[in-house]
Amino acid sequence: MRPQDLLVLRPDGLCCPPGDFLIDPLRPAARAVITHGHSDHARAGHDEVLCTAATAAIMRARLGEGAAGRFHTLDYGETVRIGEVDVTLAPAGHVLGSAQVLLEWRGLRMVFSGDYKRDPDPTCAPFEPIRCHVFITEATFGLPVFRRPAPGDEIDRLRASMARAPQRWHVVGAYALGKAQRLIAELRAAGEDRAILMHGAAMKICALYEEFGVRLGALEPARADSAKSSAPGLALCPPSALQDRWSQKFGDPVRGMASGWMQIKGRARQRGVELPLILSDHADWTQLQQTILDTGAEEIWITHGQEDALMRWCDLRGLAARPLNLAGYEGEEEAAE
Ligand SMILES: [Zn+2]
Ligand SMILES: [Zn+2]
């Protein structure tokens, strides 16, 4: 059984002919398996959608009930047969509900990782390595320069800055799905219990995380007069709102940004970020290598990101590697910056 008979790249996405479905399709599909709710993976207009319950809830909230398709939800570890293929979802550790997709067909085991990370994250189930013959990995941070500090160190730096400059608001850019909730949950775990002001975009998603049992504490929508009516604290917004009028209501705030790209000093400068926080929901270089080894796969397909260095690393270890050149998955989060 050849892997390329089980999964093949088409203009509309990664297709599984023996199951007659696509994974994270780029165009409306009759049958779609969706790894997670980020907009570049979870598009509107499919007829049947297979995903986790949390991803279904996120898609309904963001796309609207009608546009999101008819859902079939799977728990992690549960298997369903589609056509000739057994499909199992496993935690990817990326955002709430995110899943890897295990395909089993005539003795061949292939895993599509979707987006993933190995860092601890209080808002989602941790990544579980799955033994397989072919592992399909992302490579957003697939360069040796990308080795991240422990997430706790970055949270400490944010709290230290807030303690050092209590007279200034801290306005931190964080993506509305995943990063914002993770940042909040990490701060709560570290003992921060004051209300956090939120840009409108993330409030709905925060409520949804709460429904799925992730405690986020007191959150308030930021209003025009919020900054004047309470003592300076923390406000979160999408990265795009960091420089726009929204952040001006906070006077002269300390601008922060939580992103894997903050490791590149130029990017932080470019965005006028005074407090770069290196916090990512994608595997860094070390995690990519570790994960490939953990799966025991002999063949590695590398999707979106920077694949050259990872290809070479695989070659050196005698692993067959090939780039998939999956385009279209650089939408919402890290890759977009
Ligand atoms: Zn994602
Ligand atoms: Zn992505």
Q: Are residue 181 and residue 99 in the same domain, yes or no? A: no
Which ligand ends up closest to the CA of 24? 2
Which two tokens mark 47? 């007829």
**25: pLDDT strictly greater than 90:** yes
Token pair listed for 7: 């999964």
Q: What is the 157 CA–ligand 1 centroid distance (Å)?
A: 25
- Tokens 């070390």 correspond to 286
CA of 288 to the centre of ligand 1 (A): 15
**158 and 275 in contact (C-beta within 8 Å)?**
yes
Whether 141 and 159 map to the same domain: the answer is no
* Closest listed ligand to the CA of 95: 1
* Secondary structure class of 268 (helix, strand, coil): helix
The stretch 198-212 carries a mean pLDDT of 94
Per-residue pLDDT band for 289 (boundaries 50, 70, 90) equals very high
Residues with CB under 5 A from ligand 1 (ion): 38, 115
Residues 200 and 220 in one domain: yes
Q: Does one domain contain both 83 and 170?
A: no
CA 38 – ligand 1 centroid, Å = 5
pLDDT band of 337, cuts 50, 70, 90: very low
Say how many Å lie between the CA of residue 115 and the centre of ligand 1: 5
120 and 176 assigned to the same domain:
no
Burial class (CB in 10 A: 0-12, 13-18, 19+), 66: exposed
Give distance in angstroms: CA of 227 to centre of ligand 1: 32
Cα(259) to ligand 2 centroid in Å equals: 14
Percent of the chain surpassing pLDDT 70? 97
The verdict on 24 and 170 lying in the same domain is no
Ligand approaching nearest to the C-alpha of 281: 1
From 226, 256, 277, the end of a domain falls on: 277
At 44, list the tokens: 């509107």
Residues 239 and 319 in one domain: no
Query: What value, to the nearest 5°, has the Cα angle with vertex 206 and ends 87 and 229?
Result: 170
Structure tokens at 77: 């570890």
Q: Indicate if 24 and 140 belong to the same structural domain.
A: yes
Short-list 243, 122, 110, 223, CA closest to 173: 243
- pLDDT value of position 175: 94
Task: Spell 273-294 as b/e; 16+ CB within 10 A means b.
Answer: bbbbbbbbbbbbbebbbebbeb
Mean pLDDT value of segment 18-45: 96
Distances from the Cα of 152 to the Cαs of 82, 156, 255, 297, in angstroms? 41, 6, 19, 31
Dist. CA 277 → ligand 1 center (Å): 18
Do 83 and 18 touch, CB atoms closer than 8 A? yes
**Mean pLDDT, the chain, whole residue set:** 93
Ligand 1 mean position, distance from CA 94 (Å): 7
Q: In terms of residue numbers, what domain contains 213?
A: 151-277
The domain boundary, picked from 256, 277, 298, lies at 277
One domain, residues 139 and 286:
yes
Kindly list the distances between the CA atom of residue 160 and the CA atoms of 149, 153, 275, 328, in Å, as whole numbers in the listed order.
16, 10, 11, 38
CATH number (domain holding residue 259): 3.40.50.10890
Q: Is the pLDDT of residue 305 over 60?
A: yes
Is there a single domain that holds both residue 14 and residue 78?
yes
Query: Residue 236, SS3?
Result: strand
Which is nearest to 323 in space by CA: 114, 134, 136, 133?
Answer: 136
Q: Which amino acid is at 142?
A: G
pLDDT exceeds 60 at position 155? yes
Do 137 and 75 lie in one domain? The reply is yes
| Ligand nearest to the Cα of 40, by number | 2
How many domains does the chain divide into? 2
pLDDT tens-digit profile of 101-150?
999 999 999 999 999 999 999 999 999 999 999 999 999 999 999 999 99
CA distance 142 to 148: 12
Please give the average per-residue pLDDT across 244-270, as a whole number.
Answer: 90
CATH number at residue 118: 3.60.15.10
**Residue 280 CA: which ligand is closest?**
1
- Do 183 and 258 have their domain in common? yes
Residue 190 C-alpha to ligand 1 middle, in angstroms?
A: 25
